[in-house]
Structures are given as structure tokens and as C-alpha cells.
Chain A
Amino acid sequence: MDAVTYPDKNVIEFITKNIIPLRVPYNLEPLATDFTIKWTPTLVVLDKNGKEHYRTVGFLPPEELIPSLLLGIAKVHFELDQFKDAISNLEKILKDYPKSGAAPEAVYLHGVSNFKTTHERKPLKQAYERLTKEYPQSEWAKRALPYRLL
């Protein structure tokens, strides 16, 4: 991460603008125990009160780290019932990083967030249709399978 990803101009710009970066050694207590850290790098996205909402383990190149962090930020909003903010971050993934590893889950969570906002089933079926068309091999296409019946 130090050699490739963190020096990247786009990564620096994204992190500076969107999230408060905190870095600690993997064995620093009590955080290592509190967050059950077993491998590095482990990246965790927390809300402003310190509660975990997302984590990823292992190296990510710049073009994967940014959408991964967008997904993490979206999950913070989603789990705090801030669905419009979640949708905004998810749409950035789908617009700017559609080939990223985060994209299929973003499609799924986008559909769920819209359902939560509108209470209509259509966004769930749209998520299923998009996943089967654009990401048919992803686990999220399988998870969305029940929505084909809506």
C-alpha cells in the first residue's frame, strides 16, 4: 500500500476530501483486540463515533481502493438509515468504477437503498436485472436471485 496505492495522486485526493485517515500498527492495543486484527493490511471504515461498518483485508491498487472506500462510506450511511447519501456514494462507484470489485455489491445495495427510500419493489428487480446482465458471475447476482420474482 505504501509503495503503490497511498502515494497515488487520486487516492490522496479522495482520502483528503472524503474520510479521516487513521493509521496504527497491527498490534496496537486495545485496538488490535477490539477489531480482531489477524492480518495486514486491514482497512476498516468507521462512523464518526468509531463504530465499524465495513472492512477489507489485503492489498488493493488505487483503482480498487477508491471504489472500496466509496462502498465503505455508503455502508456507513446505509446502516445509519441515511439512504440518500448511501445512494450518492454507490452511484459514484457505478459511474466511475464499473469494472471494480466493489461494483456488483454497489448495484445490490443501490437497489436495496432505493427500496428503503421508496418502499417500491421495482429497484430490487432492477438490481437483479443489472446484476445478471453486467455481473452474472458475481455472488451478488446470486444474492439478488429472489428479486427476479418481483
Chain B
Amino acid sequence: MENKIKWETEMKAAKKQARFENKPVLLDFFNPG
């Protein structure tokens, strides 16, 4: 199992992966500080 979350950083790539894996997307808006 992964030891950290592997975040996508671009919507286009995330949607492509979501369609490929047939999963929803978690979009996290964060404050990088």
C-alpha cells in the first residue's frame, strides 16, 4: 500500500484517470501558505 497520497495537480489529468479507473474525483482546494 502507498505510504502517502499521490495527488494529481491538473484537472485534465485527474478526469482522465477517473474515467480510466471509473472512480470519482476528490478535489482539494488548499492554502499552500
List the interface of chain A (C-beta within 8 A of B).
1-2, 6-7, 9, 11-13, 15-16, 18-26, 28, 31-32, 35, 37, 40-50, 53, 69, 72-73, 76
Q: Whole-angstrom distance between the alpha carbons of A25 and B30 in the complex?
A: 5
* Also in contact, A41 and B26, with CB within 8 A (given A6-B5, A12-B1, A12-B5): no
Q: A25 to B1, Cβ gap below 8 A?
A: no
List the interface of chain B (C-beta within 8 A of A).
1-11, 14-15, 17-19, 21-32
* Total inter-chain residue pairs, C-beta < 8 Å: 127
Besides A12-B4, A25-B30, 17 other A-B contacts (C-beta < 8 A) = A6-B5, A11-B5, A16-B1, A19-B24, A22-B9, A25-B29, A35-B29, A42-B28, A42-B29, A44-B28, A44-B29, A46-B25, A48-B18, A48-B22, A48-B24, A49-B15, A50-B15
Q: Whole-angstrom distance between the alpha carbons of A15 and B22 in the complex?
A: 14
Q: Is the interface of A mostly helix, strand, loop or mixed?
A: mixed
Q: B29 to A24, Cβ gap below 8 A?
A: yes
Give the nearest-CB partner of B10 in chain A: A22
Q: B25 to A40, Cβ gap below 8 A?
A: no
Chain B positions within 8 Å of A45 at CB level: 24-27
Q: How far is the CB of A88 from chain B (nearest CB, A)?
A: 14
Q: A26 to B30, Cβ gap below 8 A?
A: yes
* Also in contact, A50 and B2, with CB within 8 A (given A22-B11, A23-B9, A26-B31): no
Q: B29 to A40, Cβ gap below 8 A?
A: yes
